[in-house]
Amino acid sequence: MSEIALDTFEMTLENAFAAKTAVPGQFLHLLVDGHTLRRPISIADIDRNNGMVTILFKQIGDGTKRLASFQPGMKVKCHRSGGEWIRI
């Protein structure tokens, strides 16, 4: 996770299924603890060889603020990956 511009974050997620089946421009729907609605975040890049998906998002509300606080090794529930937990 890194802040690449003011309140704009790049996060790399580890999930072989999403990396094999998704393409940049499609969305991952991330469920952030404490929030009922998932956050739709667009896929920016995919590393199919290493099973990694990169997303970019702007911290605007409470949900994306919480997402921006995630640390490597934490997990987030993702709808695109078949509802599996994916590692950050």
Model pLDDT, residue 86: 66
Structural element, H or E, at residue 21: helix 16-21
Number of H helices, E strands in the chain: 2, 7
6-29 pLDDT, tens digit per residue, is 999 999 999 888 899 888 998 899
Could you give the CA distance from residue 87 to residue 30 in angstroms, rounded to a whole number?
Answer: 12
Amino acid type, 54? T
**Percent of the chain clearing pLDDT 90 (strictly above):** 66
**Percent of the chain clearing pLDDT 70 (strictly above):** 90
Q: What dihedral angle (degrees, nearest 10) is formed by the CA atoms of 61, 42, 11, 84?
A: 100
What is the token pair recorded at 17? Answer: 């299924």
Residue 82 pLDDT > 60, yes or no?
no
